[in-house]
Amino acid sequence: HLMKVLKQGSESKAVQIRLRNKVTGLLTDGGGAVTGVRVSYSEGEYEINAKAVVIATGGFGANAALITRLRPELNGFPTSNHSGATGDALSWIDGVRADTLQMNFIQTHPTGEKSSHILITEAVRGNGAILVNKDGERFTNEMIPRDELSGAILGQRGRSAYIVFGKSVRQSLAVIENYIMQGLVVQGETAGQLATAAGLPSGALAGTIAEYNASQASGIDGKFGRAAIDMPRQIDAPYYCIEIEPVIHHTMGGIRIDDRARVLRKDGTPVPGLFAAGEVTGGMHGDNRLGGNAIADIVVFGRIAGAEAAGVE
């Protein structure tokens, strides 16, 4: 939805959108100010001269080599990011001596669908789903922070788990219909049928669902301490599940900017003509971004960067 609105807004202002044109570096004058970009495309290369450049290229969650160098323990992790999230802009800024910070702050999301790595929103758990392991048993409070939950899932056999929910949760969240249409969801009229379809022990899964429903009814999760407010619904028939595993989701580190979205050098001075906003920047979120805050980041600093760039003489 955001991309659709931005595209329509840009087109209404006659902004050029150049698809399949790849920026390969920054242009500078003799004094170190940024004066445009170098671009490559199918027919060769060219340059765009500009009074200012805004870098808004996103994070580097799909750059496996960089992720591994920064965080060796994440070697081999899949990602929920698109294939272009490779952090190319981080190499562009070397020539202007720009700084980066918190590059090792990399967030995993606990619930990426096992095969496609499509992100399964936290709202599924928030609306009442539980997690079970390959033995059909709960193993954690499903509402703990993302990094902790990722660790709990990785500690299970096969390093994966299943999100289990029922009809009431499905009816509460429209996005689940998308997951079903994408073929990500296993279904069963009974707990036993669901277990058979998913390859889980039927008796164990049925017992886990019954135990959780008793906890939900009483408002007390004696086993893992999930708060009553976080158990809004029973898991009722028909039943559904999605196999999930942790995926690399957001990179909190990146280019250092100030409150005017100006890119800063290592000595703290701004690079003339260069601005940045969004996930390509660092220092906004700390070491574990809260869900939704990246939208505030891109909207607030995108607006600031645009206004500052427009004012460059």
Contact 80, 120 (CB under 8 A): no
User: How far, CA to CA in Å, does 177 sit from each of 11, 115, 128, 182, 230?
Assistant: 32, 18, 16, 9, 22
Please pick, among 146, 233, 256, 289, the residue that the annotation labels catalytic.
146
User: How far, CA to CA in Å, does 56 sit from each of 60, 90, 275, 278?
Assistant: 12, 11, 9, 6
Contact 234, 279 (CB under 8 A): no
Quick check: is 146 catalytic? Answer: yes
DSSP at 121: -
Sequence-distant (≥ 6) Cβ neighbours of residue 76 within 8 angstroms = none
Q: How far apart are CA 211 and CA 168, in angstroms?
A: 17
- What pairs with residue 40 in β-bridges? 22, 45
User: How far, CA to CA in Å, does 39 sit from each of 19, 156, 298?
Assistant: 11, 46, 24
| Residues with catalytic roles | 146
